[in-house]
Amino acid sequence: MSKSLQYVLGRGLGASTRLNFQHSILKEHLNGLVHSKVPLPPRPVIADIGTGTGIWPVEVLTRLKWSKDGVQGAQLHGFDVSKDQFPHESLLPKQVSLHQQDAFGAYPDKFVGKFDLVHVRAFVSIINPDNIKPFLRGITSLLKPGGFLQWVDLNPINTEIRYIGRGPDPKPGHIQYAVDQYKAFRGVPIFSDLDKHTLGHGLQLVSHDASRLEGFMLPLWFQNEVMALEDFYVRPAKMSGDPAKIQQAEETVASFINEAQSGAYISPEVFVRVMQKA
Distance separating alpha carbons of residues 206 and 149, to the nearest angstrom: 10
pLDDT one-digit tens code per residue, 138-155: 999 999 999 999 999 999
136 lies in a domain? yes
Q: Above 60 in pLDDT, residue 5?
A: no
Residue 232 lies in a domain: no
CATH number of the domain residue 122 falls in: 3.40.50.150
Non-local (6+) Cβ contacts of 189 within 8 A are 129, 197
Mean pLDDT value across the chain? 89
Domain for residue 220, yes or no?
Answer: no
Closest CA to 78 of 64, 58, 62: 58
Is 80 inside any structural domain?
A: yes
In a domain, 244, yes or no: no
Angle between helices 13-30 and 55-65 (to 10 degrees): 40
pTM exceeds 0.85: yes
Span 158-173, pLDDT tens digits: 999 998 875 666 676 8
Kindly tell me if the per-residue pLDDT of 9 is higher than 60: no
Is residue 88 a part of any domain in this protein?
Answer: yes
> What are the DSSP calls for the chain, one per residue?
--GGG---S--SHHHHHHHHHHHHHHHHHHTSSS-TT-PPPSS-EEEEET-TTSHHHHHHHHHHHTSTT-----EEEEEES--TTPPPGGGS-TTEEEEE--TTSPPPGGGTT-EEEEEEE--TTT--TTTHHHHHHHHHHTEEEEEEEEEEEEEEEEEEEEE-SSSSPP--HHHHHHHHHHHT-TTHHHHH-HHHHHSBTTEEEEEEEEEE--TTHHHHHHHHHHHHHIIIIIHHHHHHT-HHHHHHHHHHHHHHHHHHHTTEEEEEEEEEEEEEE-
Integer angstrom CA distances of residue 65 from 56, 74, 75, 198 = 14, 9, 11, 32
For residue 55, name the pLDDT band (cuts at 50, 70, 90): very high
User: What is the C-alpha separation between 247 and 258, in angstroms, rounded?
Assistant: 16
Higher per-residue confidence, 69 vs 100: 100
pLDDT greater than 70 at residue 69 = no
Name the band, by pLDDT with cuts 50, 70 and 90, for residue 47.
very high
Whether residue 225 is contained in a domain is answered as no
Give the domain range for residue 124. 3-154+185-214+268-277
212-223: pLDDT as tens digits? 999 999 999 999
Q: Is residue 172 part of a domain?
A: no
Overall number of domains in the chain: 1
